[in-house]
Amino acid sequence: NAGVTQTPKFRVLKTGQSMTLLCAQDMNHEYMYWYRQDPGMGLRLIHYSVGEGTTAKGEVPDGYNVSRLKKQNFLLGLESAAPSQTSVYFCASSPGLAGGQGHYNEQFFGPGTRLTVL
Amino acid sequence: QKEVEQDPGPLSVPEGAIVSLNCTYSNSAFQYFMWYRQYSRKGPELLMYTYSSGNKEDGRFTAQVDKSSKYISLFIRDSQPSDSATYLCAMSRTSGSRLTFGEGTQLTVNP
């Protein structure tokens, strides 16, 4: 199993350009997430999905869009990149709600995408 | 004010030392408490999790939760150079709800 993979690993954009980050998981997980990690801020949730065809806003959704057309894939789009979106982006997936109280829905993270917006 | 506070360090200790990492939080609704380890230029990986209050031990690692003080800790005994990483605390209200992360503490264990 490859686990959670992210494409691309690195990218440099100019202000105003658009791009899509791809996340894929082969663990048949229901939930998927996109985070950004910045110095002094920790990991912050951008958007998440609790199943194929569903998406929801996280803590910092502005400037991003997502789609979950297939269960194994979660795409993060930047329509018009800004320097404030320079960050390391992590995708994660988790099995979803299962078991009773005390069962933990562990999140598995990908290796990250380093994005620089000039 | 952040919901979860964590001293970013950096923390540098000699090999074999006992390491104590801590987080405080403000939301009393948090019930699940996690510690993630993140090596340089890698994604975080779950190290330990605890549901509600109490202690949990796994090898050289012990996680403690004190809900009355809104304080969680991770202890590493007999620290090794391979423990050098950033340690992130995280917490959530329910098993399926979103995680709130601390900033992370950068730890270096010197041989």
Q: Kindly report, residue by residue over B77-109, the tens digit of the pLDDT.
A: 999 999 999 999 999 988 777 889 999 999 999
Contact B110/B14 with Cβ under 8 angstroms? yes
Sign of the four-CA dihedral A53, A67, A93, A27: positive
Contact B16/B77 with Cβ under 8 angstroms? no
Q: Greater confidence, B89 or A105?
A: B89
CA–CA distance, A45 with A34 (Å, rounded to integer): 6
B42, B46, B98 member nearest A106 (Cβ): B46
Mention every residue, 6+ apart, whose C-beta is less than 8 A from residue A60: A36, A44, A45, A46
Asked if the bond preceding A83 is cis, omega within 30° of 0, the reply is no
Q: What average pLDDT does the segment A42-60 reach?
A: 94
CA–CA distance, B12 with B35 (Å, rounded to integer): 19
The DSSP H or E segment spanning A94 is: strand A87-94
**Rounded to 5 degrees, what angle do the CA atoms A82, A83, A84 make?**
90
Interface residue B14 vs chain A (CB under 8 A): no
Residue of B nearest to A47 (CA): B98
Residue B66 pLDDT class (50, 70, 90 cuts): very high
The pLDDT of residue A2 is 84
Nearest residue to A27 via CA among A99, A112, A93? A93
Residue contact B103–A41, C-beta within 8 A: yes
Task: Please determine, for residue A106, whether its predicted confidence score (pLDDT) is greater than 90.
Answer: no
A43, A102, A108 member nearest B101 (Cβ): A43
- Tokens 């494409």 -> residue: A7
Residue contact A45–B99, C-beta within 8 A: yes
Task: Please determine, for residue A100, whether its predicted confidence score (pLDDT) is greater than 70.
Answer: no
